[in-house]
Amino acid sequence: MALPINIEELLHGRVIETERLEFKAGWNPEAVLHTMCAFANDINNWGGGYIVIGIEEKRRAWEFTPQGLTVPEMGRIQKELIGLSHKIKPEYFPIVEVANYQGKDIVIIWVPGGPHRPYKAAVTLGKGAEYAYYIRRNDTTKRATVTDERQLMKLAHEVPFDDRVNHRATLKDLNVRRIEEYLYAVKSALHHEMPGLPLKDLCLRMNIAGGADEDLRPKNIGLMLFSDEPQKFFPRTTIDVVKFKDDVGDDFDEKIFSGPVHEQVRAALKYIKDLEIVEHVHKVEGRAEADRFFNYPYAAIEEALVNAV
């Protein structure tokens, strides 16, 4: 089952925070169970995380040693994952993909933040095991303390805004073409499976819809990214770029960007880069290279805008 993300970029932490990645050289069901529980609890509202089995991580400069898995091992892992899902209360079923990285077969377990948190997991895999809460702290899975448990209880009543089901919308409000363009742009293998995939199944695979099977509805994140007019559901979902020409603020230029959120970000950044960022070149006597200065550092503008959104 292909994931809506490029495997190479995922493994190197280019599209998600490294704290949301857990690498395992081999199959360790108890450790995987606890990490699944921790990602499902999503105490930091990161959006869950990914467990990669078959790759050993070295802590220096994102180096990897792909151990790979045999076909029997991959079959056993997928089968045992079903059993592990029943050792989480309430039950939690992750999304699993078998992929190939540098010629080695690996298993990637995608664990989005769960809709019914907080979750408990069996401390051991033996009979009569006690259950406990697990969370992520930085890039480590740990058993929750009493203070952590209080925080988890508070989160039980707070589903992150982007992950909430929007009952004012239907799946028809999602533009399949925009979803296809997005999957193609991020080089997701899911793009190749789209032609034979019903919209309902596609939305579930991408975690952009939720609710009962007979009344599946888009999540807010799906509408913000893949509806033609997100402002129909979120009136203030725009980016407003204002350039003041005086100290008082009476004279200014304004440009408003609307549409899907990620398209707004790209358009606003291009606008700022093309029209507002100015380069000054200062030639230095006796040196071939000139000193170059910018009125605004583009990298800082990009980081600030994306964080604000």
**Cα–chain center distance at 197:** 22
Q: Which of the four pLDDT bands, split at 50, 70 and 90, describes residue 258?
A: very high
- On the question of pLDDT at 298 being above 70, the answer is yes
Task: Identify the pLDDT of residue 62.
Answer: 56
Homologous superfamily of domain range 7-158: Schlafen, AAA domain (3.30.950.30)
Going from N- to C-terminal start, the domains of the chain cover 7-158, 171-232, 239-308
Take residue 263 and report the two structure tokens written for it. Answer: 């398209």
How far is residue 83 from each of residues 32, 72, 91, 243, 301, measured CA to CA in Å? 12, 17, 10, 58, 47
62: closest CA among 139, 141, 142? Answer: 139
DSSP letters of 144-191? --HHHHHHHHHHTT---GGGSB-TT--GGGS-HHHHHHHHHHTT-THH
For residue 264, the tally of other CB atoms under 10 A from its CB is 20
Task: Identify the pLDDT of residue 221.
Answer: 94
What pTM, to 2 d.p., does this model score? 0.69
DSSP letters of 194-230? GGGS-HHHHHHHHT-EES-GGG-EEBHHHHHHHSS-G
For residue 5, the tally of other CB atoms under 10 A from its CB is 21
Q: What is the DSSP letter of 231?
A: G
Task: Identify the pLDDT of residue 58.
Answer: 65
Q: What percent of the chain clears pLDDT 70, i.e. is strictly above it?
A: 96
Task: Identify the pLDDT of residue 18.
Answer: 74
Q: What is the pLDDT of residues 140-188, one digit of tens each?
A: 999 999 999 999 988 877 778 888 889 899 999 999 999 999 999 888 9
